[in-house]
A and B are shown apart, each in its own frame.
Chain A
Amino acid sequence: MNVQTLKNKFGSINYGQLLLFVLIAWFIIAFLIFPNLNVYQEIFFKNGSFSLDAVEKLLSSKRAMNSLTNSFILAVSLMITVNVVGIALVLLTEYFDIKGAKILKLGFFTTLLYHGVVVASSYKFAYGENGLVTNVLANLFPSMDRGWFHGYWAVLFVMTFACTSNHILFLGNAIRKVDYQTVEAARGMGAGAFYILWRVVLPVLKPTIFALTILTFLTGLGAMSAPLILGGPEFQTIAPMILTFSKSQTSKDLAALLALVLGLATIILLTIMIQFEKRGNYMSVSKVKSALVKQKINNKFANVVVHIIGYVLFLIYITPVALILLFSFTDAKSISTSTITWDSFTLENYARLFTSMSALKPYLVSVLYAAAGSIGVVALALYASRILHKYKNSKLALALEYSLLIPWILPSTLIAIGLVMAFNIPRLIVGNTVLTGTHWIVILGYVIIHIPFTMRMVKASFFSLDNNLEDAARNMGARPFYTFRRVLLPIVLPSTLAVLALNFIKILDDYDLTVFLYHPVYQTLGVVIKNSTDAEAGIIARAMTLVYSVVLMVMSGITMYFVYGRGSKEK
């Protein structure tokens, strides 16, 4: 019986497709399940027998439990704040008619230029003890505490504004797909502006908002640099502890267990979201396209308020970036104390950049790895999403979907170590070759850790597709690949390209994973930068951190322009 249904199911598949199925199954088994299972075995069956000491150890630690709680508090808070701010940004730049929207948009796009430690440090330049904003406030209120910017609120503030990149990109894409005719029709029937927004526009955005909510939740759970730098003793999260434990020889079990808890929490949330996704039937692509026209806000008072909100947000976004740029031209002393005088300006940092980073090779290596990694993961996600979309209700599709989430349940350090350990002897599953030390393992590493994010976004855009389009193409005799290439791909392309660009930027300066995988002859940008900006490497390194940030910002900016900026202009 089962065989029969399987036969029926696969009967319609041609051999090319079957090959692709086999390939994807092989990829999952070889690179997602096998190495990570290896790690789990190594960790949890250390002395030949299974032990749950780790659970007990963590439960009895007040600090671990507090940090874990804080991580969850942060994740839940961010789910709300990032969505509020993110949706506001998109409405401001794409939906409402705001004067100077283009400039605002540039400001809101700045979060795409930098990530990680640099973000938290740059906010410290603005809001820290000697920061710009603190100085202004201290002048207004002389009695204020200069060290005000720390703890939960500081972390929430920084992360709320720093984590809207995905909203700007994907929600922006989604809202542009809203059929203006539906808005017009609603208005014709007498619907108010708010009602239209709530009942006509928002439902179209829902699949994207779901996906973004999950990602934001995960970002909150994994928050590392912002709490470390700004959290103070009262608000520390679990991620730094996971990192510390994952590097220790004896505590890897704790790291794996904690990551498992975070991963499972995310997956549970995801499962709930998937149910929502299935229940609703969201059609966002209009058959006869009618471009969205920006809405004028008729109420004068509301209009002024919305404009003010827009420009205040703009200031919040632009300040840290501007300060990084400014401070990269100052000497190390003013950087470490966040104070600037006229004498502090210098070009020395940039001069040093041209002597120490004149070698082209690390840039080239990183760009190539990033290109290969980001294209690889996007190709995989496109194909997997296609399967998920086509075979929505099959058990295999479900298995595929969940096995692609494996990278969420392990910290990236352990994924890297798992890869190296699994493939440093010839393995049959990869053609009896050794992968450790090759380019393949580096690219694989990048592909693996970016799978869940890429999947979420690509899948979200697939699920906002109108099935009729595909049927129409098929009725007209289009082959499956042709349909995919000429009908479906163009629709999901804007989001796909945005994912591509984001992954590219993230891989460009990756260190945490790269350090375990790269071949010494092919140093990446991330490794070179880390080596010359190591926290223990002295004062020059501190100044150089900012210069490298600026370099990366320029590279990210160019990437975004090529992949995204031009694309959106075409329309």
Chain B
Amino acid sequence: MSRMMKTLVLLVLTCLVITACGGGNNNGNSGSGSETNSGSNSGNENTAGSGNGDSGEVKNEKLIVYTNSNSDGRGEWWIEQAKQAGFDIEIVGAGGADLTNRLIAEKNNPIADVVFGLNNIFYENLKKEGVLTEYVPSWAPEVWENLNDPEGYYHALVKQAIMIGYNEAEYTPETAPKSWQDLYTNEAFKGKYEAPTNLTRATSRLVVAGILMPYIDENGDLGISEEGWNELKKLYDNGQPMVEGEDLYANMAAGKIGIGTVVSGEKFKREAEYGVKVGVVGPEGGVPMVVEHIAIVNGTKKLDTAQRFVEWFGSAEMQGKFAAEFSAMPVIPEAADQAPDHIKQLFGNMKAQPLNWSFIAEHIDLWAEKIELQIIN
């Protein structure tokens, strides 16, 4: 048995030694990273020129990038592109809520340098908590109006439309719902659609925000009139709850459900994957358009590199390339031209619903709480 003890002690020691070495490695990594980067300067010349032209030598330290849009191979794609441009990045991928929590918890001593992919609501919270630093990249003026943060903390990259989608095998544009209101009031759709019950997902929250928006009322509960809450109650009462581990497209393909919330960015890929055609609804009042942004984390020790990275990342060239690869819809006209035709067409038919983002950002967590506690049965 004493042999067992010795093995244990040995194991602990090995662990300690290895972790200690690991720590050393870290520095080694960032060191070698900067070496390779100084070799491939040419990639950044243009950005360095416009950003901080005086620096003769560009040194790119390893950047820690937080994002919620790294799935479906997007993370790997960006790492590869960054490498070609001379950036050494490490991506931390997690859900928007997790990332926001982590960023706020770390704010006194941040690990992240850059955060991209979150929507306005999350960025508003981060800004309020002092997590972001102000930086206006040179491409900011090219972005369509009213999308960037007017105070210059975060800037827009791509937009997503949050829409009602229906299985084309079950519904035609005529028989499909005309709007969210039609969906939850019309008896024909009762129990036939998926209600956004999983409120940890940003998509579900945006659907809620879109429905509540017309009912803003200072005197109402959490800024929403009684009528607004009743509307939302109908949405949840008449729909089917989401089930963990099940997927809307898979359920559509299996004929289990006909209607649900779809996001423009993933629609086309999922259709091909599950072999189902999904039609989308473009209501009169427009659909919630959510914009993904990029920002620099306040307190980063690699501010120079982070700024160069943001310059490069949001440029029309890179966003155009990204759009062509992943069916995204950039917010810079020049980049948007490079988006695939099907996505351009989709956005051509959709109108953006006017949303008061700061109001939503201020209230959405409380709304979600109320929905969890009072609205869902």
| Chain A contact residues, CB within 8 Å of chain B | 57-58, 60-64, 117, 120-121, 124, 225, 228-229, 233, 240-241, 243-245, 247-251, 254, 332-333, 336-337, 365, 368, 371-372, 375, 413, 417, 420-421, 424-425, 434, 436-439, 485-486, 489-490, 493, 515-516, 519-522, 527, 530-532, 534-542
Q: Which residue of A lies closest to B121 (CB)?
A: A249
Min CB distance, B98 to chain A, in Å? Answer: 5
CA distance A371 to B243 in the complex (A): 35
Task: Point out the residues of chain A lying under 8 angstroms from B4, CB to CB.
Answer: 493
Q: Is B169 an interface position by the 8 A CB rule?
A: no
User: Which stretch from B5-13, B38-46, B285-293 is at the chain A interface?
Assistant: B5-13
CA distance A338 to B22 in the complex (A): 43
CA distance A178 to B104 in the complex (A): 54
Q: Given A61-B373, A489-B1: A519 and B111 within 8 A (CB)?
A: yes
**Interchain CB contact under 8 A, A531 and B75:** yes
Q: Given A57-B373, A539-B270: A516 and B71 within 8 A (CB)?
A: no
Q: Is B109 an interface position by the 8 A CB rule?
A: yes
* Among B29, B112, B247, contact of A336 (Cβ-Cβ < 8 Å): B247
Task: Point out the residues of chain A lying under 8 angstroms from B372, CB to CB.
Answer: 61, 63-64, 241, 244-245
Q: Is B19 an interface position by the 8 A CB rule?
A: yes
CA distance A569 to B112 in the complex (A): 49
**Interchain CB contact under 8 A, A531 and B71:** yes
Q: Is B80 an interface position by the 8 A CB rule?
A: no
Q: What 0/1 readout, one digit per residue, does chain B (289-322) give for beta carbons within 8 Å of chain A?
A: 0000000000000000000000000000000000
Q: Which residue of B lies closest to A516 (CB)?
A: B102
* Among B97, B105, B241, contact of A233 (Cβ-Cβ < 8 Å): B241
Top 6 A-B pairs, shortest CB-CB distance = A61-B373, A537-B71, A228-B244, A539-B273, A420-B105, A250-B365
| Chain B contact residues, CB within 8 Å of chain A | 1-2, 4-5, 8, 11-12, 15-16, 18-19, 22-23, 26, 29, 64, 70-72, 75, 90-94, 97-98, 100-102, 104-109, 111-112, 125, 199-201, 241, 243-245, 247, 250, 253-254, 266, 269-270, 273-275, 365-366, 368-369, 372-374, 376-377
CA distance A121 to B243 in the complex (A): 12
* Among B64, B109, B253, B366, contact of A520 (Cβ-Cβ < 8 Å): B64
Show 21 A/B contacts (Cβ-Cβ < 8 Å), sorted by A.
A58-B373, A63-B372, A63-B374, A243-B200, A244-B372, A247-B200, A250-B369, A251-B366, A371-B15, A420-B102, A437-B109, A486-B2, A489-B1, A490-B1, A493-B1, A519-B26, A520-B90, A520-B91, A531-B93, A538-B269, A539-B247
Q: Given A241-B372, A251-B365, A520-B90: A535 and B15 within 8 A (CB)?
A: no
**Interchain CB contact under 8 A, A332 and B365:** no
Q: Which residue of A lies closest to B30 (CB)?
A: A521
Min CB distance, A328 to chain B, in Å? Answer: 16
**Interchain CB contact under 8 A, B250 and A336:** yes
Q: Given A332-B273, A337-B254, A520-B91: A536 and B201 within 8 A (CB)?
A: yes
